[in-house]
Structure 1
Amino acid sequence: MEKKQYQLLGVMSGTSLDGIDIIEARFHFNSGTSYKILHGTTIPYDEFWKKKLSSAVNMDEQELQHLNFEYTRYLGNVLKQFIDENGLHGLDAICSHGHTVKHEPQNKYTLQIGNLKELAKITGQKVVCDFRVQDVQLGGQGAPLVAIGDKLLFSEYDYCLNLGGFANISTEEKNRRIAYDICAVNTVLNYYAHKLGLEYDEGGKIAASGKIIEELYGKLNSMRFYIEKPPKSLGIEWVNREILPLISQYEENIPDVLHTYIKHIAFQISEEVENSSEVKVLVTGGGAFNDFLITELGKKSSAQFVLPSAELINFKEALIFAFLGALKLRGENNILKSVTGAEKDHSSGVIFNP
């Protein structure tokens, strides 16, 4: 008899380096697919791991191998503690994204650390992980991967917009799902908040206090990436190479930089969303708590930008990686070629047993 219910951990670490999102979720596969988040938490990174992970993009192969092992061990202990503290039993698997340190699909290369077999040994659980590599090997972007979850779990929305380290969006176009990265969000906003000695600009208050730098705004919106057609994705390498050098000549006034950059984000998102009051956009990710950004989105577009519960805002990506793991365990496709540009739909991920 085919298994209908899965109890899983979903694990996500994003490029904004705010921490490790962990959720326990239950999925039912009946006539449709339904989910319930049973418990969720974010384990913040301390300064040691923030420094390590932010510098990883510049490491050589040997340093990356060492970091991968070190981070896998750290992640495994974090997950084991979560399981023990919450008295979890009967898990079907841990489904973990890992942490992206390099993403170069044009070179058929992507690396998410924390996806080694030691994760299963440390936690004593079956692990499904490393979801991006196979797609890149098949000619895809390896991102965004959440689109199939958007399609099957959140079909009542016209668009699903995630505001994390990067903004990515998914929607139906000509009876097929498409998804792609739009622009950098918290990778840039938090970089400049850190220069003020802050983790992030809470609610976008500092940005709201600034003024637009028209010249910078024009240069940002003229970047080549924005005229490219999907499938397309972004990595921290692009931010370091293209965005930060461009902004550097204006950064004597950080509130103005933050103000300008948020207006840039809002403009780029509005360009990708149908401008109609009938259109519903589900907004999740840390950027959903940036009140100034949400206000600017409302000014740029008449679409309905829907903010769900804080639980879903915080944990939607972890939830969908749990869902990707469930599909992998079922032998079903979890990545769509219409989204990533891979040569075929496929079931991606690696399964490790304890």
Structure 2
Amino acid sequence: MKIYKVVGMMSGTSLDGLDLAYCHFWKKKDQWQFEIKASESISYAPKMQSDLKDAIHLSAEKLLQLHNEYGNWLGERAKDFIQEQNLEVNFIASHGHTSHHRPELGLTFQLGSGQHLANASEHTIICDFRSNDLALGGQGAPLVPIGDRLLFSEYDFCLNLGGISNISFELKGRRIAYDIGLANMILNYITRKIDLDYDENGTLARSGTINPMMLKKLNGLSYYLLPHPKSIGYEWFLEKVVPIVNETKDSTENLLHTAIHHICEKIAQQVALNTNKTNQKLFVTGGGALNAFLIETLEQKLDSKIEVVVPDKILIEFKEALVFAFMGVLRSEKEINVLKTVTGAKRDSSSGVIFLPN
């Protein structure tokens, strides 16, 4: 039995930091199995966080400079992680950090140069999982649903609450997935106004009340009317959401409370639209799954026939890093790892670019 030993690396739109997960993958009776053997989250220093957040505004020259510098930084963190844990690694699979995502223009860009990462880590790298799908006419997102299908098939819905909320499910033998809308991106934007990285357990949000005008504006965002496949990025958030938050003169508690009700209403709507069955399970991961008030609000807005399943903290925090490690495995096996039913591309693909260290 062949066991793949892979480090998956993920940096999400919420800018919390870098997640590293050392994972083993193997097949048992044609079913993929996995185990997360070691993990680490590395918070970004203020300058790194600021550089990544503002990368969208950089000139091409400065953007490519950051691309290379960040690739080196990723490689050094991966090397440290492997050495400190004394890990045996076949390769590293890196998502990078998305600075630009404009699928309607046929472009996406993930910071973190694969060659710099390979050289700094001294390991083979598989990265740039999105570009090939855009070249095939797809959105380049979401990518995690291949992991949902092959690793978490016992759940009816897989919901990720990162910076953005996205959902994945089977419908008539096809995997469907798309970005629902907001999640931690808006919550963290609000808390950073009071120099707080995030609202732990949703404690501040719980003490607030709904601002009806803000809720109406958020619920009325035109993105929610678009058919899937669809995806959003930081550009959309800056253009459409930030002005709503900034023009709402209210307490931090009320802003957070309102944002959570908005997030959960939109998730509940999408679940209701895609099932009429009973005893369904909704599997929730991502940083938002640690927000107790958000999960309680979601349970209230979902029909009682939907069970919300929140796994252990390791899987909550490292599922995306796990899935990108798995996408690297599928790429090395030349198996499909990006689904056209999810991204809207003209065909499924085995995506990812391989870089060898020099």
TM-score normalised by structure 1 residue count: 0.97
Alignment of 1:101-250 (within 5 A): 101-250=99-248
Partner of 1:317: 320
Aligned-residue Cα RMSD (Å) equals 1.1
Partner of 2:92: 94
CA distance in 2, matches of 1:179, 1:283: 14
- CA offset digits 1:284-340 (Å, max 9, x no partner): 000001111111101101211100010100000000000000000001110000000
Partner of 2:292: 291
CA distance in 1, matches of 2:218, 2:127: 35
Offset at residue 66 of structure 1 (A): 0.6
Offset at residue 227 of structure 1 (A): 1.2
CA distance in 2, matches of 1:250, 1:277: 39
SS in 2 for 1:272: helix
Q: Number of paired residues?
A: 351
Listed as ranges, the gaps of 5+ residues in structure 1 are: none
Alignment of 1:277-288 (within 5 A): 278-288=279-289
Q: Is the 8 A contact 2:70 2:112 kept in 1?
A: yes
Q: Is the 8 A contact 1:148 1:336 kept in 2?
A: yes
Offset at residue 63 of structure 1 (A): 1.0
Offset at residue 255 of structure 1 (A): 1.3
Matched residue type, 1:236: Y
- CA offset digits 1:97-125 (Å, max 9, x no partner): 00001100111110001133121111111
Percent identity among equivalent residues?
46
Partner of 2:257: 259
Offset at residue 251 of structure 1 (A): 3.8
| Moved beyond 6 Å, runs of 4+ | none
TM-score normalised by structure 2 residue count: 0.96
CA distance in 2, matches of 1:296, 1:118: 43
Partner of 2:83: 84
Listed as ranges, the gaps of 5+ residues in structure 2 are: none
Partner of 1:345: 348
CA distance in 1, matches of 2:344, 2:179: 13
CA distance in 2, matches of 1:267, 1:4: 44
CA distance in 2, matches of 1:329, 1:204: 41
Q: Does 1:308 align with 2:306?
A: no
Alignment partner of 1:329 out of 317, 327, 332: 332
- CA offset digits 1:253-293 (Å, max 9, x no partner): 22111111100000000011137651101100000011111
- CA offset digits 1:57-88 (Å, max 9, x no partner): 11111110111011111111111111111111
CA distance in 2, matches of 1:285, 1:106: 26
Q: Does 1:42 align with 2:38?
A: no
Q: Does 1:69 align with 2:68?
A: yes
Q: Is the 8 A contact 1:96 1:115 kept in 2?
A: no
Q: Is the 8 A contact 2:7 2:21 kept in 1?
A: yes
SS in 2 for 1:295: helix
Partner of 1:20: 18
